[in-house]
Amino acid sequence: MIEELRRELDRIDRELLQLLSRRAEVALRIGCLKAEQGLPLRSLEREAEVIARVKRENPGPLNEEAVARIFRRIIAETRRLEEEVVRDDCGDEARGHAKGD
C-alpha cells in the first residue's frame, strides 16, 4: 500500500514539474514583453492578486498560509529566471537552449 501511494506521489511530482515548467515558460514570455515595453519585471500588485486568488481557490487540505508560502516561492523563482533572461536579452541560450533548438 505504501509503495503504491509513493508511486502516485511520483506521478503527481512529474505533473507538478511539467506545470511549473509551463508556468515558467509563460512567465519568460511575459518578462521579455515587459523588457521590450520598458516595464518593470516585478509587479507587487500582480503578486498580491495571485496570492489572494490561490488562497481563495484553495480546496485544502493545505491551509491558506501554506499555499501562500508555496506560491510566493514559485513567484520568486520565476522572477529570478525572468531577471536572468532579461539580462541576457531574452535569448534562447538564457533558457538553456542552444541557438537553433
Q: What is the pLDDT of residues 4-62, one digit of tens each?
A: 999 999 999 999 999 999 999 999 999 999 988 999 999 999 999 999 999 999 999 99
Q: Model's pTM, two decimal places? A: 0.82
Find the helix or strand (DSSP H, E) in which 5 lies. Answer: helix 2-36
CATH topology of domain 2-95: Chorismate Mutase Domain, subunit A (1.20.59)
- Domain positions in the chain are 2-95
pLDDT-based confidence at residue 90 (cuts at 50, 70, 90):
confident
The radius of gyration computed from the CA coordinates of the chain, to the nearest angstrom, equals: 16
pLDDT-based confidence at residue 85 (cuts at 50, 70, 90):
confident
Q: What pLDDT score was predicted for residue 91?
A: 53
What is the b/e burial string over 65-97, where b = at least 16 CB atoms within 10 angstroms of the residue's CB?
eebbeebeebbeebbebbeebbeeebeeebeee
